[in-house]
Amino acid sequence: MQILTTMLDGLQQAAQEIATHITDERNIVAFYGAMGSGKTTLIRAICSHLGVVENVTSPTFALVNEYHTSDNRTIFHFDFYRINNIAEVYDLGYEEYFYSKHICFIEWAEYVEDLLPNNALSIHIKILDNNTREFLIDD
């Protein structure tokens, strides 16, 4: 599925559409896109749609942030841009997160692709211009 949107005007609608693809069986969402493509911005919008009231920021240095929704669901937000090797992800205990049944949003998923469950939902973000993005949802 393809969603074409401006980052300001259509972002909430895109986030709402993407959120409909997140289920108990498909709770791992892998985000792919160039630096500055809007991965964190999109995750922030999806979290807002899901009822997160906390401040959603990129866990670039912490590797993982934890958020809670208004209906008591837990969301883990990963950013693997700064990992030096896959051993760091093992040391983080990724299995505890990925197989916890909680929602996991993963930025820079290409760095951990071999560890992702087969049913992970993939979101590819393509920059079309300064304000326009294409979101490709791989079902």
Pull the structure tokens for residue 63: 């590797």
The pLDDT tens digits of the residues spanning 121-139 come to: 999 999 998 888 989 998 6
pLDDT digits (tens, 9 = 90+) for 104-113: 999 999 999 9
Q: What is the pLDDT of residue 62?
A: 87
Reply yes or no on whether the pLDDT at 67 is more than 80.
yes
Per DSSP, the residues of the chain read: -EEEEETTTSHHHHHHHHHTT--SS--EEEEEE-TTSSHHHHHHHHHHHHTB-SPP---TTTSEEEEEBTTS-EEEEEE-TT-SSHHHHHHHTHHHHHTSSSEEEEETGGGSGGGS-TT-EEEEEEE-SSSEEEEEEE-
Burial 55-87 (b: 16+ CB within 10 A, else e): ebebbeeebbbebebeeeeebbbbbbeebeeee
Instruction: Look up the pTM and report it.
Output: 0.93
Work out the average pLDDT over 76-89: 95
| Residue type at position 6 | T
Q: In whole angstroms, give the CA distance from residue 60 to residue 122.
A: 20
Q: 97, 132, 111: which is closest to 32 by C-alpha?
A: 111
State the burial class of residue 25 (Cβ atoms within 10 Å of its Cβ: 0-12, 13-18, 19+): exposed
Q: Specify whether domain 2-138 bears CATH 3.40.50.300.
A: yes
Amino acid at 69: T
The predicted structure's pLDDT at residue 4: 64
The per-residue pLDDT for range 23-64, each reduced to its tens digit, is: 999 999 999 999 999 999 999 999 999 999 899 999 988 899
